[in-house]
Structure 1
Amino acid sequence: MEEPKQRIRARHTATTVTVYQAYAPHIGLPAARDGVFPPAWKRDRMTWIKPSFLWMMYRCGWGTKEGQETVLAVEISREGFEWALRHACLSHYEHGLHADRAAWKQQLRHAPARVQWDPERDLRLQPLPYRSLQLGLAGEAARRYADEWTVSITDVTPLAREVHALVRAGDLTAARGLLPEEPPYPADDGLLARLRP
């Protein structure tokens, strides 16, 4: 089946969605240990969450980039995830979707969440012809994410290293078998209508 140009693919249950982030150990390790983000996690900064494991691997270099050595799987409530989508704005102006650039800028200024559709990645972290969601959370959305929506936080750095080692060894079949399953997320058109170019 051909993939649509933009789609949310995510590990999810009836009540939760798993997203990925990568942090320096002084943030990531306490977060995974305690199941909550530590005081060092700035609630007043924009934070980007990624439902795609491989896109996170692309972004953090399999957990090797400085300041991104600890890869976290953060399970959040579907209710919170969908709140963020309902209150989000596209991170770039899109002719035909926004009335004009000024209207988009005004929407962007007031939106607590931003959506980007970035090329999904394969096991070698090469871009694929379809895109996956990246969701930026600021202000109210970032605070809700950290203090209300988070259900669990798991350190998946060992998984990232194991998959990366298999990719380097050329065993893509074994590497693929370790990837988290990320089926299409059941987001209706009403949820994404303003967010898909």
Structure 2
Amino acid sequence: MAQEKSAVPYHQIRALYDDDSITVYQAYNAKIADEAVKQQTLKVPGWSSERMTWIKPSWSWMMNQSRVLAIRMSHSSFETILLKSSLSNSSQEKQPVRVQWDPERTPSTKNKLPYRSIQIGIGRSVAETWAQDMILSIEDVTEKAQKMHEDVEAGMSEDELAEKYIEERVYEIKDEELRKIIRLDSLEDHETES
């Protein structure tokens, strides 16, 4: 299936990161969010490793959530998790981590873009280690999400929203095995059945 021409690759990881870490986002209820920030761990009352927990590097997806946490982890931890993944829509053997390539949206989330952003589901066999050993820091960024929502409602343009709120840039993965596992270079979402 031919894809619409775009300067952006169909699958691309865009994230807020520096030399030491990458930031992913999660939404939680107030009780878990407060304790997670206070204790700087997700291993708090109410959090469970028994169900899949989804993380997203894409900020725009978090705007309408009640509480939003920015979770920093090392590059090696991020890529270690991805090495344990399989695509959600894959016919291959399922791994403890799931990867979905969801349609990216403009900063207001009102319009879909012709390329995809990664969403990562961490299964219970990995979630405990992730929560306990792989998180460097947790920050409550709910206020930023609320301000962005207010600016969207006030009619701020997509370009202005992007300039004010979107700090992501392309996150390069050089490991060829990992690129293949997450289908980073794929031009479509569904694998061809052999």
Shorter-normalised TM-score: what interval?
A: 0.7 to 0.9
Runs of 4+ in 1 over 3 A off after TM superposition: none
Q: How far apart in 1 are the matches of 2:40 and 2:181?
A: 33
Give 3-state SS (helix, strand or coil) of 2:162's partner. Answer: helix
Q: How far apart in 2 are the matches of 1:134 and 1:5?
A: 14
Partner residue, 2:181: 194
Q: Which amino acid aligns with 1:163?
A: M
Of residues 186-195 and 4-13 in structure 1, the stretch that sits farther from structure 2 once superposed is 186-195
Query: Which aligned pairs between 1:160-171 and structure 2 lie closer than 5 A?
Result: 160-171=145-156
- The 8 Å contact of residues 45 and 138 in structure 1, kept in 2 or not, is answered as yes
Once the two structures are superposed, residues 116-162 of structure 1 have per-residue CA deviations (whole angstroms, 9 ceiling, x without a partner) of 00011112212111000000001232112200111111111100011
- The 8 Å contact of residues 84 and 112 in structure 1, kept in 2 or not, is answered as no
Percent identity over the alignment is 38
Of residues 171-180 and 75-84 in structure 1, the stretch that sits farther from structure 2 once superposed is 171-180
Q: Could you tell me which of 64, 69, 87 is aligned with 1:72?
A: 69
Q: Could you tell me which of 23, 28, 46 is aligned with 1:40?
A: 46
Query: Which aligned pairs between 1:58-137 and structure 2 lie closer than 5 A?
Result: 62-63=64-65, 69-93=66-90, 101=91, 104=92, 107-108=93-94, 111-125=95-109, 126-137=111-122
CA RMSD of aligned residues (A): 1.5
State the TM-score, normalizing by the size of structure 1.
0.83
Give unpaired runs (5+ residues) of structure 1: 64-68, 94-100
Q: Could you tell me which of 116, 135, 138 is aligned with 1:153?
A: 138
- The 8 Å contact of residues 76 and 145 in structure 1, kept in 2 or not, is answered as no
- Determine which structure has the larger helix proportion and give its number: 1
Matched, 1:4 2:4: no
Give unpaired runs (5+ residues) of structure 2: 1-5, 187-194
Q: How far apart in 2 are the matches of 1:45 and 1:54?
A: 24
Assess, with a 3 A threshold, how the Cα gap between structure 1 residues 70 and 131 changes in structure 2: closer, same or farther.
Answer: same
State the TM-score, normalizing by the size of structure 2.
0.84
Q: How far apart in 2 are the matches of 1:21 and 1:185?
A: 19
Give 3-state SS (helix, strand or coil) of 2:180's partner. Answer: helix
CA apart distance, 1:168: 1.0
